[in-house]
Amino acid sequence: MEKLLRVDMSNLEARFEDLPDKYALLGGRAMTAAIVADEVAPTVHPLSERNKLVFAPGILTGTTAPSSGRLSVGAKSPLTGTIKESNAGGISAQKLASLGIRALVVEGKPAEKGFYVLVLSSEGARIEPAGDLAGLGCYELNRRLWEKYGKNSGLMCIGPAGEAGMPTAGVSTNDRENHPGRYAGRGGLGAVMGSKGLKAIVLLCDKVFEAPVAEPEKFKEAQKLLSKAILEHPVTAQALPAFGTAVLINILNEAGGLPTKNFSAGRFEEAAKTGGEAMAEFCKTRGGKGKMGHGCHPGCIIRCSNIIPDEKGEVACAPVEYESSWALGANCGIGDLDTIARLNYLCNDVGLDTIETGVTIGVLMEGGLLAFGDGSGAIALLDTEVRNVTPLGRIVGAGAAVAGKTFGVVRVPVVKSQGMPAYDPRAVKGIGVTYATSTMGADHTAGYSVATNILKVGGFVDPLQAEGQVDLARNLQIATAFVDASGLCLFTAFPLLDIDYALPAVADMYAARLGRPFTVADALEAGKEVLRVERKFNEAAGFTKAHDRLPDFMKYEKLLPHDVVFDVTDEELDTVHNF
């Protein structure tokens, strides 16, 4: 019987419960959404004892399905006020699943402020005082936790930003080399963890692929098909391992949709120095520990991740992803990869979301606190202000919306107070529809229209025209909600969109894992149900269609080089969730 583990931080008690029947088919985002919706009142304060933080591996996580080791973390978000799911790689999700834990629910809050470590193994769960681990950055924290609990422990932890309740703090998870850089970054879930007095969760478990599978033979057959699709698709077979996700820098720059200097232009003159090709060159010429084609967890056959070396070949940061390279690079007018890697390292260490941090610093640059391109100024903001939790550090950690208000800035690229990722919606209109209407605030992963607008995956819809974007964003949001429940990495979506036998193979794996019929139609229905649950929560939390909008400046400020505004109408946006 698979379990739900409930950790009550008010009484410092942990207890295992049988997984309720109503959750039997849910994993990942479907599980976190259902538990948050069932157990958290939509109007609670996100940092109060009445919020809950839920960790859930996907349905296929902990099986031998390729690239399936993803973790969902959910709660009510202190950044957006909406329900939130943030997805991470790393080694912890497979361990949770192999321990038979389908959901880990952290609730309550210690009566007296203090920090604890939750230690989980096949023998059970215990809660220990964090002692002098409190206050540490994630790199030193991870080092000490491996020293204390053993190498290969799965770690989910927070840095000083999470401890201080900053609404853009993320939850770090470690990779196989114990870098803390695999973040459930978005939406401030690290602050929720901090509010519960939980500094780290340690998973003592060497098992990786031991989630129960009802029909192993059938599972294997379907799994082979998905692997074949992944290895057949040129994007997952070649481009992602060779250049990582940052291969997108140049293509978005060419397309005029790479947000530059706080979304004031669509091209950055130094973009190429910050892209995947430049990273691959770094790894080749600097050597040492540098590496492209790194897998964030065992069993990933795509391996989009990387280890970026410094000048001496030591680890500067692992990984530097597209979104981070853009947020801390082009968006801040910074064209130096070493500076970007340093900023990314600092975000990982103090425990902030890289996207939100880059968007926030961009707004602060616009507001005149520091100049665009000022790398050392940006480093000081993180290393000094955030790390020491100064008032200015708290502004940085509060996100772009707060920074904009504090400094009187109009051009603030957020939806539902969450900073926009690395695609300008005026030049990539499909992603604008997703940003506006996603249940998460501005989130590219919620419905990655960029695939079809820019990359010609899943067909082609002209990124500069309003036509077709609503249908595209709707279908992708539904499909993505399912993928996020499965535990498959979202990058499997490229073969899933292009290769006809891939999605049926995933449905077959579901059926074999759970020992019940499951079809592609069931998968899409499952995706729709996740969105319905999330929307209902948000409505009850006070969100209306007026919140499903992009910031007003995008309707009248023209973006170069294409001289475009965002012109999908409000009426059209309101039809995205008609399904």
Partner 1 sequence: MPKVSVRLFATLQRYLPPANIGEATVMDVSPGTTVQSLLGELGVPLEQVKIVMINGIHTETDYVLQEGDRVGVFPPVAGG
> Which of ligand SF4, partner 1, none sits in contact with 255, Cβ below 5 to 8 A by type?
partner 1
Residues 477-496 that bind partner 1 (CB under 8 A): 490-491, 494
Strands lying side by side in the sheet with 13-18? 13-18, 3-8, 101-107, 53-57, 71-76, 83-88
* Residue in 177, 210, 270, 572 binding partner 1, rule: CB under 8 A: 270
Residue ranges of alpha helices (H) inside 416-567 are 429-437, 450-453, 469-486, 493-498, 502-514, 520-540, 553-556
C-beta closer to ligand SF4: residue 299 or 468: 299
Is residue 143 part of the contact set for partner 1 (CB under 8 A)?
A: no
For residue 59, give both structure tokens: 């349905």
Residues 6+ apart with CB under 8 A from 456: none
CA–CA dist 488, 497 (Å, integer): 14
* Residue in 281, 314, 467, 525 binding partner 1, rule: CB under 8 A: 281
C-beta closer to ligand SF4: residue 222 or 300: 300
3-state secondary structure of 522: helix
C-beta closer to partner 1: residue 292 or 531: 292
Nearest distance from C-beta of residue 435 to ligand SF4, angstroms: 21
C-beta closer to ligand SF4: residue 302 or 473: 302
Longest dimension (CA), the chain: 62
CA–CA dist 579, 420 (Å, integer): 26
Q: Binding string to partner 1 for residues 5 to 34, with x set by CB under 8 A, is what?
A: ------------------------------
Is residue 183 part of the contact set for partner 1 (CB under 8 A)?
A: no
| Total of residues contacting ligand SF4 (CB under 6 A) | 11
Nearest distance from C-beta of residue 243 to partner 1, angstroms: 6
Residues 6+ apart with CB under 8 A from 331: 259, 260, 261, 262, 263, 358, 359, 361, 362, 422
> Which of partner 1, ligand SF4, none sits in contact with 302, Cβ below 5 to 8 A by type?
ligand SF4
> Which of partner 1, ligand SF4, none sits in contact with 409, Cβ below 5 to 8 A by type?
none
Residues 543-562 that bind partner 1 (CB under 8 A): 561-562
Residues 276-295 that bind ligand SF4 (CB under 6 A): 295
> Which of ligand SF4, partner 1, none sits in contact with 479, Cβ below 5 to 8 A by type?
none
Neighbours of 2 (CB within 10 A): 15
DSSP 163-183: HTT-TTB-EEE--TT--S-EE
Is residue 74 part of the contact set for partner 1 (CB under 8 A)?
A: no
C-beta closer to ligand SF4: residue 464 or 490: 490
Residue 558 per-residue DSSP state? P
CA–CA dist 282, 406 (Å, integer): 38
| Total of residues contacting partner 1 (CB under 8 A) | 49
Instruction: Sort residue 572 into left (φ over 0), alpha (ψ -120 to 50) or beta.
Output: alpha
E strand or H helix at 102, and its extent? strand 101-107
> Which of ligand SF4, partner 1, none sits in contact with 263, Cβ below 5 to 8 A by type?
none
CA–CA dist 227, 277 (Å, integer): 26
Residues 62-81 that bind ligand SF4 (CB under 6 A): 67
C-beta closer to partner 1: residue 86 or 195: 86
* Residue in 273, 289, 405, 536 binding partner 1, rule: CB under 8 A: 273
CA–CA dist 15, 35 (Å, integer): 16
Nearest distance from C-beta of residue 253 to partner 1, angstroms: 9
Q: What are phi and psi of 202, to 5 degrees?
A: -115, 125
CA contacts within 13 A on the Cβ side of 136: 20
For residue 218, give both structure tokens: 């059938």
C-beta closer to partner 1: residue 451 or 550: 451
- Tell me how far apart the terminal alpha carbons of the chain are, to the nearest angstrom: 35
CA–CA dist 534, 513 (Å, integer): 26
> Which of ligand SF4, partner 1, none sits in contact with 74, Cβ below 5 to 8 A by type?
none
C-beta closer to ligand SF4: residue 392 or 490: 490
C-beta closer to partner 1: residue 460 or 579: 460
Is residue 86 part of the contact set for ligand SF4 (CB under 6 A)?
A: no
Residues 318-377 that bind ligand SF4 (CB under 6 A): none
* Residue in 84, 95, 179, 303 binding ligand SF4, rule: CB under 6 A: 303
* CA distances to 155, 196, 216, 326 from 344, in Å: 19, 26, 41, 11
Is residue 184 part of the contact set for ligand SF4 (CB under 6 A)?
A: no
> Which of ligand SF4, partner 1, none sits in contact with 300, Cβ below 5 to 8 A by type?
ligand SF4
Neighbours of 321 (CB within 10 A): 24
Nearest to 313 by CA among 274, 286, 349: 286
Rg (CA), the chain: 22
Nearest distance from C-beta of residue 33 to partner 1, angstroms: 21
Is residue 334 part of the contact set for partner 1 (CB under 8 A)?
A: no
Residue 76, strand partner residues: 83
Q: Binding string to partner 1 for residues 100 to 139, with x set by CB under 8 A, is what?
A: ----------------------------------------
Interface with partner 1 (CB under 8 A): 233-235, 238-240, 242-248, 250-251, 254-256, 267, 270-273, 276-278, 281, 304, 321-323, 444-445, 448, 450-451, 454-457, 460, 462-464, 490-491, 494, 561-562
Residues that bind ligand SF4 (CB under 6 A): 67, 89, 295-296, 300, 302-305, 489, 491
